[in-house]
Amino acid sequence: MAAPVIVVREVVNRFGAQVVHDGVSFEARSGEIFGIVGGSGSGKSVLLKTLLGLRRPDAGTVELEGRDITAMDDRELRGIKRRYGVTFQHGALFTSLTVAENVTLPVTEAMDLDERSLERLVELRLRMVGLPLEAAAKYPAQLSGGMVKRAALARALALDPAILFLDEPTAGLDPIAATAFDELVLYLRDTLRLTIVMVTHDLDTLMRTCDRVAVLVDGKVIVDTLEGIVANDHPWIRHYFHGARARSMAAGREDSGGA
Amino acid sequence: MQFTAQYDRVAGRLELSGEARMEDAPAMARVLGELRGSPPAELQIDLARVELRDIGPAWLLYDAIADLRAAGVRVGLDGAVPEHFAYFDALRAREAGSWARAAAPSVMERLAEFGRSLEERGRSWYEALVYGGRLIASASIAWHSVKRLRLPSVVRHMHETGVQAIPIVAVIALLISVISAYIGAQQLRPFGAEIFTVDLVAIGVLRELGVLLTAIMVAGRTGSAYAAELGVMKLNDEVDALESMGMDPYEVLVLPRVVALVLVLPLLTVVADAMGLAGGALLTSYLLDLPWSQFVMRLDAAIAPTTFWAGLVKAPVFGLLIALTGTLRGLQVRESSRELGRLTTVAVVQSIFLVIFADALFAIFFLEIDF
């Protein structure tokens, strides 16, 4: 079994009297795609923020690559954040910068590189995420939704991160673009052996890409392989994976399998 | 192990060792720069002791090798071909279009650019005209039905732009009248005409300073707020949402703001006038030893019945100009947050300009009709 890259132990997050996470523990292993699902308000985003070090949990520890980020001071944390790539739900590209400038920003912040090398690195990242090179000179407002997600991924990959966090990577994409994005994520994992943590609502994406899934319910987390989760008899999980949407998807699968 | 790179031009060897991570990209770029600067006829790259871990520096090396080979240099690799290179071959094989490079614009292009900017200017004026027209149409509908004027909204904007602005407007008016009274008293004293300081402050504040400074304050405070509020709503598609629900954004968003500011600016001007006169009285009593009762008598003699109104009638016009500019610029926001910042600035600058310009026209007009 691969070594754990992310170790979360007994994390508690509270907002006033409302307890969002009441002792959440799980591990994500090197080279796996780890899905996080949960209903609205179950604390997916808060959990992601905790993993990213943007929010300190009220109790518990988060270890990334063996280092406890909850015990670090801000300066140390900023240094370590370079090792992780993040994409946000709406891309969060800087609208006043071109795609190329967005992609080079983390690089120029971290190191001193000549123009030519920077340009070559932009080409690399764009090719990696399957964006046409013409997109480099464009501003985010000139891109389609799918291209924004790819550009955000290109920026997240700019420093060759060891761990990639994706927040709703396929939300708002049409099925074709979403499928292409899933394949891209799988391809990057297979070629670069990245550890990928994704928060997603998209059952298709979940089924196609994730090795293991963490389900946030009642402030706790249930972690299992996809098959294990689907077989779980917690009412919310049953509802999620055996609801109308899931059933129609499964039916579609069987139809195409039989044809 | 630390990444090191050594290029020996004479031997035609590039020695790489250690573990190449993304942090080592500058070291890699430096040695590749040397290599490109003085390429050998034949190059041997020693890869046996290096681990190209991250793909950034590996890509730079791969790219340089491809360039050198294209330039006719024979490149040999010692040791196993790095595993990333197969991935790069696959990437390069994929069609990715061409790299768009910005060429220096030709004379024709500059000319076209100039033409475009003129057209843009023209369209901006045209938009302002259309805007005014649509607003008048909405206003005429609201004229017939009070419900469509959206009183709660008007009251809310009056509170935000008027009531909440009272402290700052009052303080500014007080300070300005103190400044003008001080300078007036100092300049008039050699002529023994200190008493006319009262005239100076009273006429200055009532006719010009009170309303003008209030308008400028409000332009900075409310003009920017209007532009930013509507701009963010535009970016969030909220304006389209309103329209899709069959509501007229001019009626719902613009008209209440305009009506509120047209009503509020005269009221703020009255506050500024009162505070200005109070400041004048305070300073004359202190500088000239003039009792308050004397001040009031002198004030009565100094100002004509029209002095106060000459200042006040300008206020609704200034309010209209500020509100129109702010809302128009807000609704012109498209696409990006940078646009939002730019148009908010434009709204403030233009509304202040328009206010001062209108004030100049008023001054000439009042002089001509002897108001």
pLDDT in tens, A92-147: 888 888 888 888 888 888 888 888 888 888 888 888 888 888 888 888 888 888 88
Q: Of B311, B316, B297, B318, which is closest to residue B371 (Cα–Cα)?
A: B311
Please name the residue of chain A whose CA is at the shortest distance from the CA of residue B100.
A134
Specify whether A106 is located in the same domain as A157: yes
Average pLDDT in the A78-99 region?
Answer: 81
Banded model confidence at residue B232, pLDDT cuts 50, 70, 90: very high
Specify whether A205 is located in the same domain as A253: yes
| CA dist., res. B245 & res. A102, Å (int) | 37
Res. A257: pLDDT tops 50: no
| CA dist., res. A108 & res. B207, Å (int) | 57
Specify whether A117 is located in the same domain as A199: no
Each residue of B146-180: pLDDT tens digit?
Answer: 777 788 889 999 999 999 999 999 999 999 999 99
Best to test chain B binding among A121, A131, A144 (most B CBs inside 10 Å):
A121
Banded model confidence at residue A89, pLDDT cuts 50, 70, 90: confident
The whole domain housing A109 covers: 93-161
Average pLDDT in the B36-59 region?
Answer: 83
| CA dist., res. B65 & res. B113, Å (int) | 41
Q: Of the segments B65-69, B153-157, B353-357, which one has the largest average pLDDT value?
A: B353-357
Number of structural domains in chain A = 2
Each residue of A171-193: pLDDT tens digit?
Answer: 877 888 788 888 888 888 887 78
Distance in Å, alpha carbon of A192 to nearest chain B alpha carbon:
8
Please name the residue of chain B whose CA is at the shortest distance from the CA of residue A129.
B91
pLDDT at A255: 54
- Find where tokens 């009183």 sit: B151
| CA dist., res. B169 & res. A207, Å (int) | 62
pLDDT at B326: 94
Say if the Cβ atoms of A134 and B97 lie within 8 Å. Answer: yes
Residues in chain B within 8 Å Cβ distance of A126: 96
Is the separation of the CB atoms in B39 and B11 below 8 Å? no
Specify whether A154 is located in the same domain as A255: no
Residues in chain A within 8 Å Cβ distance of B102: 137
**A227 or B190, greater pLDDT:** B190
CA-atom Rg of chain B in angstroms: 35
Task: Identify whether A54 is part of a domain.
Answer: yes
Res. B4: pLDDT tops 90: no
pLDDT at B103: 65
**A169 or B205, greater pLDDT:** B205
Residues in chain A within 8 Å Cβ distance of B343: none
| CA dist., res. B300 & res. B203, Å (int) | 11
> Which domains, and CATH codes, for chain B?
4-93 (3.30.750.24), 137-369 (no CATH)
Question: Which among B25, B60, B100 has CB closest to A134?
Answer: B100
- For B347, counting Cβ atoms within 10 Å of its Cβ (0-12 exposed, 13-18 middle, 19+ buried), the class is buried
The B4-8 sheet, strands edge to edge: B4-8, B13-20, B42-52, B74-78
| CA dist., res. B264 & res. A105, Å (int) | 46
From A72-81, B131-140, B241-250, the region with the lowest mean pLDDT: A72-81
Banded model confidence at residue B42, pLDDT cuts 50, 70, 90: confident
Q: Which token pair is A43?
A: 């604390």
Specify whether A156 is located in the same domain as A170: no
Q: What percent of chain A has pLDDT over 90?
A: 0
Task: Identify whether A147 is part of a domain.
Answer: yes
Domain's final residue, options A110, A145, A161 = A161
Beta-bridged to residue A196, according to DSSP, are A33, A164
Q: Of the segments B36-45, B56-65, B72-81, B113-122, which one has the largest average pLDDT value?
A: B113-122
Specify whether A206 is located in the same domain as A236: yes
Looking at every residue in chain B, the average pLDDT score rounds to 87
Domain's final residue, options A131, A161, A191 = A161
* SS percent in chain B: helix, strand, coil, step 5: 75, 10, 15
Banded model confidence at residue A244, pLDDT cuts 50, 70, 90: low
Say if the Cβ atoms of B56 and A137 lie within 8 Å. Answer: no
Say if the Cβ atoms of B94 and A123 lie within 8 Å. Answer: no
Residue B60 touches chain A, beta carbons under 8 Å: yes
Banded model confidence at residue B358, pLDDT cuts 50, 70, 90: very high
Strand A195-199 to strand A212-217: parallel, antiparallel, or no bridges (unpaired)?
Answer: unpaired
- Find where tokens 């290029």 sit: B7
- Find where tokens 């969030």 sit: B236
| CA dist., res. A180 & res. B196, Å (int) | 82
| CA dist., res. B70 & res. B34, Å (int) | 17
Average pLDDT in the B231-256 region?
Answer: 87
Average pLDDT in the B184-208 region?
Answer: 89
Banded model confidence at residue B319, pLDDT cuts 50, 70, 90: very high
Task: Identify whether A88 is part of a domain.
Answer: no
| CA dist., res. A47 & res. B370, Å (int) | 72
Domain's final residue, options A124, A143, A161 = A161
Beta-bridged to residue B50, according to DSSP, are B18
pTM: 0.70
Specify whether A142 is located in the same domain as A250: no
Name the residue type at position A193. R
Best to test chain A binding among B3, B19, B21, B22 (most A CBs inside 10 Å):
B22
Say if the Cβ atoms of B96 and A126 lie within 8 Å. Answer: yes
Specify whether A177 is located in the same domain as A257: yes
Strand A212-217 to strand A220-225: parallel, antiparallel, or no bridges (unpaired)?
Answer: antiparallel
Complete DSSP assignment for B215-260: HHHHIIIIIHHHHHHHHHHHHTTHHHHHHHTT--HIIIIIHHHHHH
The A33-38 sheet, strands edge to edge: A84-87, A163-167, A195-199, A33-38, A212-217, A220-225
Please name the residue of chain B whose CA is at the shortest distance from the CA of residue A190.
B87
If you ran DSSP here, which 8-state letter would residue B50 be given?
Answer: E
| CA dist., res. A114 & res. B63, Å (int) | 15
Interface of A with B in 158-217 (CB under 8 A): 159-160, 191-192
* DSSP-derived 3-state class of residue A252: helix
Task: Give whole-number Cα distances, B200 to B7, B83, B184, B203, in Å.
Answer: 82, 86, 7, 6
**What is the domain-level CATH number for residue A246?**
3.40.50.300
Residue A36 touches chain B, beta carbons under 8 Å: no
Specify whether A28 is located in the same domain as A98: no
Average pLDDT in the B269-285 region?
Answer: 91
If you ran DSSP here, which 8-state letter would residue B204 be given?
Answer: I
Q: Which token pair is A33?
A: 């795609």
pLDDT at A82: 75
Residue B340's contacts (CB-CB under 8 Å, 6 or more residues apart) are B228, B231, B232, B235, B333
Please name the residue of chain A whose CA is at the shortest distance from the CA of residue B96.
A132
Q: Of A134, A132, A191, A180, which is closest to residue A157 (Cα–Cα)?
A: A191
Specify whether A1 is located in the same domain as A114: no
Banded model confidence at residue A259, pLDDT cuts 50, 70, 90: very low
* DSSP-derived 3-state class of residue B282: helix
pLDDT at A250: 61
pLDDT at A119: 87
If you ran DSSP here, which 8-state letter would residue A228 be given?
Answer: H
Each residue of A56-71: pLDDT tens digit?
Answer: 888 888 888 888 888 8
Strands (E) across chain B are located at 4-8, 13-20, 42-52, 74-78
Q: Which token pair is B250?
A: 């001019």
Say if the Cβ atoms of A117 and B60 lie within 8 Å. Answer: yes
Residues in chain A within 8 Å Cβ distance of B337: 95-96
Interface of A with B in 133-162 (CB under 8 A): 133-134, 136-137, 139-141, 159-160
Q: Which token pair is B15?
A: 């020695």
Separation of CA B209 from chain center: 26
Complete DSSP assignment for A119-178: HHHHHHHHHHTT--GGGGGS-GGGS-HHHHHHHHHHHHTTT--SEEEEESTTTT--HHHH
